[in-house]
Amino acid sequence: MLILGLETSCDETAAALVESGRRVRSSVVASQIEDHRPFGGVVPEIAGRKHLENLVPVVQAALDQAGARPAEIGAVAVTSSPGLMGALLVGTSFGKALALGWGVPLIEVNHLHAHALAILLGRRRPRFPFLALVVSGGHTTLFRVEAPLSLGILGQTRDDAAGEVLDKVAKFLGLGYPGGPVIDALAAGGNPLAVRFPRGLARSPTLDFSFSGLKTAVVNSALGTRRIDGRLNDQQPPPLSESGLRDLVASFQEAVVDTLVGTTLRAAREHRLSTVVVSGGVAANTRLREKMAGEGKAAGVRVLFPDRDLCTDNAAMIAGAAWHLARGKRFAGLDLRPSAKMKPAAC
């Protein structure tokens, strides 16, 4: 079965054609980064409007790349939660119209479950059950994945998501948007031991995360430097030297990575799971990949990352997850309602 997946939960408009939950025939992503960059973050109103403009050409490109005709498509899958409400409404409405027009079933997919299952589209596939860390701009969540349609939350962030703190700190330091990739590159030349930042909830018995205290600590550290420099001005990014900035950013990134790796491997141990999958936009981070792989190996855990383009937002993961729902005949009606918060039941 060939499924058309649509992804519009945040700032990427994506369409993909995936065959039998396995073979990615095409995957097209239209990024809105340039539209949001002047504002230093995603503007929900702009995101919704851009999805509306982008959907027709992106779906057309996905069909063209796959060399497929609409008549070959067996179902249309849409992200229905969680995400920005306006953005989800545009994508789900568009998906409903296509499903109705083509006379095929509609499938609703949970964006986080799709991130956790994206690994099934690659060459190195995990055995079930496995532990999935979904670490993105809006979420930091640990799932126990029993089977493709059986995912349970073991822990999640109590405040900011990991990607969110990377983006917010980068914005504060005047490094641009999105912050994750900039911090990834800058940190490579810095000393991760230069500043000792807190590892939120590292000693807590739960498998939850907390990153907002770290964000405050980084801001205070930067402000402290500004005070020493005698040029405190809340409107300006701190006047750090090039090497001071690299050290600060490397130490901050190390605290984020340390926390993610520590809690994830503890979850694997406590739940006796021998495979860890790391997915979502932050899984593209060089240091996270390196440290999770190294410490996982030392702990006897197999660590898998989807390819980078399957880690960041894409529609192939939506069409891939939808295939499992289609096999279970779990179709949605045209009365489907998207939800900004994660829906409890939908995959």
By CB under 6 A, name the binding residues for ligand KG4: 10, 136-138, 163, 166-167, 178-181, 184, 280-282, 284-285, 312-313
Residue by residue, DSSP assigns 13-75 as EEEEEEETTTEEEEEEEEE-HHHHGGGTS--HHHHHHHHHHHHHHHHHHHHHHHT--GGGEEE
Interface stretch with Zn ion, choices 188-196, 259-267, 307-315, 329-337 (CB under 5 A): 307-315
| By the rule CB under 5 A, 81 interacts with Zn ion | no
Shortest Å, Cβ 274 to ligand KG4: 25
Shortest Å, Cβ 78 to ligand KG4: 15
**Quick one: 137 or 238, whose CB is closer to ligand KG4?**
137
Residue 134 interacts with, from ligand KG4, Zn ion, none (CB under 5-8 Å by kind):
none
Residue 91 interacts with, from ligand KG4, Zn ion, none (CB under 5-8 Å by kind):
none
**Quick one: 273 or 284, whose CB is closer to ligand KG4?**
284
Interface stretch with Zn ion, choices 80-88, 102-110, 150-158, 311-319 (CB under 5 A): 311-319
**Quick one: 80 or 225, whose CB is closer to ligand KG4?**
80
User: How many Å separate Cα 28 from the centre of its chain?
Assistant: 17
Query: At 244, which amino acid appears?
Result: G
Interface stretch with Zn ion, choices 99-107, 134-142, 219-227, 246-254 (CB under 5 A): 134-142
Residue recorded with tokens 């997946």: 5
User: How many Å separate Cα 279 from the centre of its chain?
Assistant: 7
Shortest Å, Cβ 143 to ligand KG4: 15
Residue 292 corresponds to which tokens in the numbers above?
């999770």
Q: Classify each residue of 186-201 as buried b or exposed e, where b means 16 or more C-beta atoms within 10 Å of its C-beta.
A: bbeebebebbebebbb
Interface stretch with Zn ion, choices 17-25, 135-143, 225-233, 318-326 (CB under 5 A): 135-143
Q: Which residues are bridge partners to 276 per DSSP?
A: 131, 303
**Rounded to whole angstroms, how far apart are CA atoms 289 and 257?**
9
The contacts of residue 57 (CB under 8 Å, 6+ apart) are: 30
How many H helices and E strands in the chain?
Answer: 11, 10
Shortest Å, Cβ 333 to ligand KG4: 26
Shortest Å, Cβ 137 to Zn ion: 7
| Secondary-structure percent of the chain, ordered helix, strand, coil, rounded to 5 | 45, 20, 35
**Quick one: 208 or 313, whose CB is closer to Zn ion?**
313
**Quick one: 8 or 136, whose CB is closer to Zn ion?**
136
**Quick one: 138 or 238, whose CB is closer to ligand KG4?**
138
Contact 339, 115 (CB under 8 A): no
Among residues 313, 314, 322, 346, the one that binds Zn ion under rule CB under 5 A:
313
Shortest Å, Cβ 185 to ligand KG4: 8
**Quick one: 136 or 259, whose CB is closer to ligand KG4?**
136
Q: How far is CA 257 from CA 205, 263, 335, in A?
A: 19, 10, 41
| Rounded-to-10 torsion of CA 112, 118, 124, 126 | 40
Residue nearest to Zn ion (CB): 136
Helix 44-66 and helix 85-102, axial crossing angle in degrees, nearest 10? 30
| By the rule CB under 5 A, 7 interacts with Zn ion | no
The kind and range of the H/E element at 14 are strand 12-19
Shortest Å, Cβ 313 to Zn ion: 4
Residue recorded with tokens 């039941």: 345
Among residues 32, 136, 275, 285, the one that binds Zn ion under rule CB under 5 A:
136
Number of residues binding to Zn ion, judged by CB under 5 A:
2
Which residues form the interface with Zn ion (CB under 5 A)?
Answer: 136, 313
